[in-house]
Amino acid sequence: MNVTGMLRDDALKGKTIIVTGGGTGLGKSVSRYLLQLGANVTICSRRQTVLDATAKELIDETSGQVLAVACDVRNPVEIENVIARTIEKFGKIDGLLNNSAGNFISPTERLSYKAFDTVVDIVLRGTYYFTLAVGKYWIENKIPGTVLNISTTYATTGSGYVVPSAVAKGGALIMTKSLAAEWGKYGIRLNAIAPGPFPTKGAWDRLFPEPLASMMDPTSRIPLHRVGEHGELANLAAFLLSDYSSYITGESITIDGGEVLMAGEFSHLENVTPEQWDMIEQTVRQANKASKKE
Ligand code: HXC
Ligand code: NAP
């Protein structure tokens, strides 16, 4: 499958968007599409060398304008530096994609306090620090803006073995909805995307390591029987960051091939064969008949 960009050319021309974690994985893929649509993009994360390599690659590919600034999203001073550098280079900021995250699988009782803090601080604190800093700038300067938070499907269902991430993504989702209510009057919209599995090195190394990866196939419990393609998520992200979604705020849109629906009590019956269904049907019909005679 080859995903085609869905927005018209120049749909984001003149817009400037900050993408946290834009040096790798989904953040990099979304940044590429934002640039193709004419946006200026600032990418930030902790490793300047990774950011510089990505910036060069994206500029060569798209001829767009990319600023790469190192920033730990847990540090408000570094966040303010990203904002100042972005305004200095591009004049203003129109959008913020909170995409940075830290995560790994572990039984919760094996975690130290610091391990729990580390994930929550990157995912939740990083998201509200960046949103607060950019939101203040928009409100002070009377600029309408859009925040898009990359969430997860387990932000609403919860999930074992990634509990700090679930706690933090859940908090960030409630912030998305709460601020959408509070900041709508300033023309600020906030939305979220809840992705199912989209292969990236960052997520796969930490969430599907060997020998686990060989033991479980993440596609087996997805109704569409495949993982997501980066272009599919990039299309949704660009739409939610663009003016085409101007009346959508406080929403979380799931993009997971139907994976969360498999939590439905009977959704796992797809391996039952037609012959077994014949037997099951007969048994149920007989039970119905018997109960009518009682
Ligand atoms: C138990 C662990 C651990 C592990 C680290 N720690 N890994 N504890 N099991 N596997 C503990 C450490 O011992 C330490 O606690 C504390 O966590 C902090 O670890 P550091 O390595 O010092 O932290 P840091 O260098 O800041 O790295 C952060 C990180 C790392 C989160 C641990 O994985 C990282 O940099 N991740 C960034 C990218 C990422 O995670 N991408 C995946 C996103 S996927 P002590 O007490 O020992 O000092 C996602 C959703 C996926 O979010 C959904 C898929 C469907
Ligand atoms: P990824 O490539 O590991 O992306 C995470 C990014 O966050 C990295 O670029 C990392 O860069 C940055 N980061 C980590 N800690 C940071 C910090 N303290 N300050 C600033 N940046 C930091 O993984 P990904 O799969 O693309 O994940 C992107 C987003 O999608 C995350 O929010 C994740 O939760 C979400 N998501 C992914 C999937 C999936 O299947 N891939 C599913 C659901 C949700 P540095 O290490 O250089 O800082």
Q: Which residues of the chain have pLDDT under 50?
A: none
Beta carbons within 10 angstroms of residue 52's beta carbon: 15
Strand pairing report for 146-150 and 95-98: parallel
Q: List the catalytic residue out of 33, 113, 137, 154.
A: 154
CA nearest to 226, candidates 234, 218, 214: 218
Please report the pLDDT score of residue 280 as a whole number.
96
Q: Is the CB of 36 under 6 A from ligand 2?
A: no
Residue with tokens 């709508």: 184
129 in catalytic set: no
Among the atoms of ligand 2, which is closest to the Cα of residue 26?
Answer: 26
Output the CA torsion sign for 100, 37, 86, 91.
negative
Please report the pLDDT score of residue 213 as a whole number.
85
Cα–Cα distance measured from residue 127 to residue 101, given in angstroms and rounded to the nearest whole number: 9
Indicate the burial class of 99 (C-beta count within 10 angstroms; 0-12, 13-18, 19 or more): buried
Please report the pLDDT score of residue 75 as a whole number.
98
CA nearest to 255, candidates 209, 207, 197, 172: 197
Cα–Cα distance measured from residue 176 to residue 189, given in angstroms and rounded to the nearest whole number: 9
Three-state secondary structure call for residue 17: strand
Phi and psi at residue 178, in whole multiples of 5°? Answer: -65, -45
pTM of structure? 0.97
Q: How far is the CA of 288 from the centre of ligand 2 (A)?
A: 53
- Please, which residues have CB within 8 angstroms of residue 112's CB and are 6 or more apart in sequence? none
% pLDDT > 90, the chain = 92
| Residue of 149, 206, 216, 256 with the most ligand 1 atoms within 8 Å of its CB, for mutation | 206
Please report the pLDDT score of residue 211 as a whole number.
87
Among the atoms of ligand 2, which is closest to the Cα of residue 50?
Answer: 47
Q: Is the CB of 150 under 6 A from ligand 2?
A: yes
Q: Which residues line ligand 1 (CB under 6 A)?
A: 101-104, 106, 110-112, 114-115, 118-119, 152, 165, 197, 202-203, 206-207
Walk me through the domains of the chain, giving residue ranges and CATH numbers.
16-293 (3.40.50.720)
